[in-house]
Structure 1
Amino acid sequence: MPTIPARRTASAVATAALLLLTAACTGGDEDDDETSGASHTGREGDGWTVLHYSMADTNLEPFMVADVNELGAVGSNDNLHVRELMDRSAEYGEDPLLDQGDWVGGRVLDLGADGTTEVVDDLGDVDSADPELLASFIADGIKDHRAGHYALIISDHGASWPGIGPDEGTAPDYDVLDLAEITDAVSSGLEEAGVDKLDLLGFDACLMANYEVASAVAPLADRLVASQELEPGHGWDYGSLQLLADDPDATADDLGEAILDGFSSQAEEQGTQDQITLAMIDLTKMDDVDDAVGDFAGALADQAADVAPAVGQSEANTLAFGKNPDETQDKHLSDLGLLATAIGDAAPDVADQADAVVDALDEAVLDEVFGVATTGATGLSIYLPPVRELADGAYLDVPTADEWAGFLEAYYSAGAAIPADEQPEFKDPDTGPEVTFDDDGGITLTGTFDPAALDNITEATISYALVNDDGSITYFGEEIADYTDDGAAPTASGSYDLSYLQISDGEDSAYAYTDLDLSDDLETAFFDVPMTYYASTDTDGADPQDALLSLVLDIDAGEFVSETIYIYDEESGGYGELAPDPEGTIVPDVLTISADGDQVWEPTTDVGLYSDVAGLTYEFLPLDPGTTIQADLTLTDFGGNSSTLSSVVEVP
């Protein structure tokens, strides 16, 4: 196996806690929400034309080939016509696609019966992130196959409002379909075809069930189907389109329900059900959601100085998506409905506006599926970085983000204005926290802090690091801690069981960084583990890719029940599951802070582990007696100000 170079420098570890709030997501009255193509332009006859756009010139190619093979099993008939654009890579496998076998480049195919295909256009080396290509694919597909209903589904890495992509064939500057390009391409394609809007627009990609996305595409379709969270590689079950082949009168709602049901069932079969989300959004109701979000953002901005603590505390404790311990790769996406509910409960002055957001969202989200880790998800996320330094300036270019961006600016300004005497401050920092050893072999850190900061605090965390001989420290985990209001002497406390996560491929092993989260019922634990991946073709380790290992632990059984490795794409900011590459290597990354304060995520071993996920094992082991660690108890406020008590402990 290759020697693994160090990961690039990153900023400090994000410490966002996850408290799952229970909220019901119910659809509106079926008769009111049902749509019909009869009132739309460009329809001829009945039945459906489905346009499937696979930007497969990425590491997701094997998954997308499998998806199109599922589509081919349904095929086309008098009720359904399926047109496919598949852009394939020379780098990611040779899986046969229906009767086309393997190839490199783009092809437009009409799918026939029994897995047969007809080549409409052999595009050769093509940029599938070119909006003109998407527009022409839509226009030609509709003009060639007029129908009563139209659907467009786009597949690739998803990044929420930054868009979808990339096309790796455009290296070194990978091209991405950003949100403006997506809306322009779909609009242009529909206009050329003489169609006012799609019946259904789908993103078979990560993170695309996002308020900013839904608001932008609302004029283009009646329904949106997308996921708030990272999607497992198997994506949707395209066998669900059999509904359209069987029933020419099927509606957009019928199709959306079939996609949600198929996705959920396939996740159960693949063992990925714990962390999924998929929602069907009534885009005809997005004007009401826009109005409610705009009013809510305006009220928050107008009263930022008063409500900022409630916003910060709600952000820290609301269900979030695309999380990563490396805060530079965290997507900072909060569940919109849960966030509004939490802010409204904590800040009565904006409760009416918060309730209006929840009500409008409830009307717009017709149905959703979610797992144990995403319980209560309400259908759409919204962008909310906790501090200004983590906010992406490109967000200001998103047309649907104007009001929310104005609120974010006011919120960050309020955070910057927190007086010094109201920022977190532990008492007696030089003496450190009180450290007690528990009967079960762990430690608890406790400290008192100035009550003047209590209202501004958003979270407490405990983190732990190895103390190295050169004076540096290497953090290998963090988890939520508690803080309480005890009058004149409020306290914070956090516990750590003095264990570490070891990952093994059967030949080698490595310890890993863990960001621990718990389900609401405390029966399931979730771990995000930052990693670096090297493809088997990258023999000299010259092309490392950032990755995230997502683990699910059944606490009572003591067994890991799910593990998925997601690749992070730096160009798009998107995620996608790592396609099987048993000869590739992965290595866990940990955060090391040097004696002079420099921070870097670096590998825990010079020898990688094979990336055959099915062959990896995970075990929590006790630290060796005599190991010297530093344990930190930290309080953070909504302005990003923090205070930390540290203690150096020798493991007994």
Structure 2
Amino acid sequence: MKRVVSILSVILLVCAFCSPASAAAQKEWTFMVFLNADNNLDSFGVGDLQEMVKGGGSNDFMNVICLLDRENAPAKLYHVTKDEAKVIGEPGEVDMGSYKELVKFVLDTAKAYPAKHYCTVVWNHGSGWKDINGEIIKGISYDDQSGNHITTNQLTIAFDEIKKGLGKKIDLFCFDACLMQMVEVAYAMKDGVEYLVASEETEPGHGYPYTEIVSGFKKGMTPEVAAKHIVKEYSKSYDGGSAGYSSTTQSAIKCSELNGLKDAINGFCKVALAGNYGAQFKNALNGSQKFYYRTNIDLGHFVELAQNQIKDESFTTAADKLQAALKKAVVINALSGYNTKNAKGLAVYFPASSYSFSSDYKDLAFAKETMWEQMVKDYYKKTTIKKVVKDVVSGDISSLRNYVSSANQNNREISAELVTKLNFSVFAEGGVDASTQENVKSLVTELKSK
């Protein structure tokens, strides 16, 4: 009998450990951080966990939970209070680069710490488009041990699964990471998230000011008010606040407005495709606010600069509609420093040269459901191809030689059209001397091999 009682006691203890908050009452907020420091940001991750403690941690209306995976160390799950970050789980080595682990973390935390509203933060390197062995890949949460990361399309899968598990969208999702506030990323998450907070530019190593963010959460905060609170505290911290001075960006997107933004972008693209605005777009692109990856430009600033040069009525109408849609989507945009002064809150992918345009872009939901890729490639045709053909016909093959030297698989579509135009202008129409024709033949042959 004593043995039976002992076994029963062990079972009860195990159950209590495995379900630390199985009887937890629902609170207003659960603030959960997926803190992937399994990389060279390890020390910053430990510091941010301590900042959550200094901010007061959990209280009567909010739970603060953090899954911290450190470099060369196993992951631990923490319940954060004003006194300590208490270990409540030791899952061992976790592949923080797997979207499945993100889904598991969110759903398990929501089950153990139920709340009216959920705020999820993914903490790690972010990339816009990350250069890995010469290949540029959009993603987040790079795990140096596994070599994995969460791709943009996997974010869609993750938040579809989270939405099904919770029975609702995540109220507030934040990227404490670099370069993630792009329309391509936001669009991938729009059906599973109410508000998205992120940065167009790189974030300094200190990242979010968790002390101010956690301590500033108040009873009765709505998701939109909470999103604005995080954006404001981040910007303040780098404008002479707790993190000193740096040029930074941070904005909040209302994801329910992204379908309207998509329609406005398509309307803008249609007008651009129908017009002959290559020169004006080139000037606007050159002057647009750019970020660490120069292929990322601020969408609102680009449209503003283009609109300043193009006085066509149909273009003005389409640009006005796009700016209005952006204003609805970006509920707050906060900046610090000088280098980001023209950032309006949402970046987009627009490389200056066709050879830099990633061939993988077409796989993104945003690319499939908008005309943005078509418009950008049309811009290359109206500028690059036009200039190269004009130069060759006049006897100058330097621009063609430069194009061929940089051509790759990313701009094969542009190259194919260039070859067609050259064949017609140089060989069919005539008027080009024999020496130039021979040089063009040689360069075209080289181009076709790329």
> TM-score higher than 0.5 here?
yes
Is it true that 1:59 corresponds to 2:40 in the alignment? yes
Match of 1:343 in 2: 306
> Structure 1 residue 148 and structure 2 residue 116: aligned?
yes
The answer as to whether partners of 1:50 and 1:83 remain within 8 angstroms in 2 is yes
Task: Give, in whole Å, the separation in 2 of the partners of 1:200 and 1:114.
Answer: 26
Q: Does 1:359 align with 2:324?
A: yes
Correspondence for 2:65:
83
Mapping for residues 21-420 of structure 1, pairs under 5 Å? 45-73=26-54, 74-90=56-72, 104-120=73-89, 122-160=90-128, 162-170=138-146, 174-192=147-165, 194-239=166-211, 240-244=213-217, 247-267=218-238, 268-269=240-241, 273-303=245-275, 306-322=276-292, 330-349=293-312, 350-370=315-335, 371-402=337-368, 403-420=371-388
Query: 2-side partners of 1:280 and 1:420: how far apart?
Result: 42
Q: State how far apart, in whole Å, the 2-side matches of 1:54 and 1:46 are.
A: 22
User: Residues 384, 424 of structure 1: CA spacing in aligned structure 2 closer, same or farther, 3 A cutoff?
Assistant: farther
Q: How many angstroms apart in 2 are the aligned matches of 1:273 and 1:362? A: 27
Q: Secondary structure at the match of 2:141?
A: strand
Q: Which amino acid letter does the alignment assign opposite residue 319 of structure 2?
A: A
Amino acid paired to 2:99 = P
1:350-404 deviation digits (Å, cap 9, x = unpaired): 2221121111111221212112111131100110001111111121111112321
CA distance in 2, matches of 1:375, 1:333: 15
Change (3 A) 1:311 1:144: same
* Alpha-carbon displacement from aligned partner over 1:135-168 (angstroms, at most 9, x marks no partner): 1111111111111111111011111261213110
Structure 1 residue ranges without an equivalent (≥5): 1-43, 91-103, 323-329, 426-452, 454-652
| Maintained 8 Å contact 2:268/2:322 | yes
Query: Which 4+ runs in 1 deviate beyond 3 A?
Result: 269-274, 419-425
Aligned equivalents of 1:415 and 1:71: distance in 2?
51
How far residue 421 of structure 1 moved from its aligned partner, in angstroms, is 7.3
Tell me if structure 2 keeps the 8 A contact 1:138–1:186: no
Relative distance call for 1:175 and 1:354 in structure 2 (3 A) is: same
Compared CA separation, residues 337 and 86, structure 1 to 2 (3 A): same
Q: 1:152-204 CA deviation, whole Å, 9 max, x = no partner?
A: 1101111126121311012xxx2111111122112212312x33101111001
CA contact (8 A) 1:243 1:250 kept: no
Cα separation, partners in 2 of 1:423 and 1:355, compared to 1, 3 Å: farther
Q: Quote the offset at 1:257 in angstroms.
A: 2.5
Q: Which moves more between the two structures, 291-300 or 411-420? A: 411-420
Gaps of 5+ in 2: 1-24, 130-137, 394-398, 400-450
Deviation at 1:119, TM superposition (A): 2.0
Q: Report if the CA contact (8 A) 1:241-1:259 is conserved.
A: no
DSSP-derived class of the 2:78 partner: strand
Answer whether contact 1:139 1:190 (CA < 8 A) is retained: no
Map residues 541-552 of structure 1 onto 2, 5 A cutoff.
none
Alpha-carbon deviation of 1:271?
A: 6.3
- Offset at residue 107 of structure 1 (A): 1.8
Q: Which amino acid aligns with 2:158?
A: A
Q: 1:181 to 1:272 in 2, by over 3 A?
A: farther
Q: Distance in 2 between matches of 1:360 and 1:230?
A: 25
Alpha-carbon contact 1:201-1:221 (below 8 Å) kept: yes
Going by fraction, where is strand more abundant, 1 or 2?
1
Structure with the higher fraction of residues in helix conformation:
2
Distance of aligned partners of 1:348 and 1:272 in 2 relative to their CA distance in 1, 3 Å threshold: farther
Q: Residues 397 and 331 of structure 1: is their aligned pair in 2 closer, same or farther, counting only changes over 3 Å?
A: farther
**Distance of aligned partners of 1:155 and 1:388 in 2 relative to their CA distance in 1, 3 Å threshold:** same
Distance 1:279 1:130, change over 3 A: same
| Separation in structure 1 between the aligned mates of residue 389 and residue 68 of structure 2, nearest angstrom | 59
Equivalent residues of 2:209, 2:242 under 8 A apart:
no
CA contact under 8 A between 1:274 and 1:373: conserved in structure 2?
no
CA displacement at 1:411 relative to structure 2 = 1.7
Q: After superposition, what is the alpha-carbon deviation per residue over 1:299-333, rounded to whole angstroms, capped at 9, x for unaligned?
A: 22333xx11221111111111011xxxxxxx3411
Instruction: State the one-letter code of the partner of 2:148.
Output: D
Aligned to 2:434: none
SS of 1:49's partner is: strand
Report how far residue 335 of structure 1 moved.
0.7
User: How far has the Cα of 1:348 moved from its partner?
Assistant: 3.0
Instruction: Calculate the aligned-residue CA RMSD, in Å.
Output: 2.4
How big is each residue's C-alpha offset from its partner over 1:77-110, in whole Å with a ceiling of 9 and x where there is no partner?
22111121111112xxxxxxxxxxxxx0222222
Q: Any conservation in 1 of the 2:127–2:139 contact (CA below 8 Å)?
A: yes
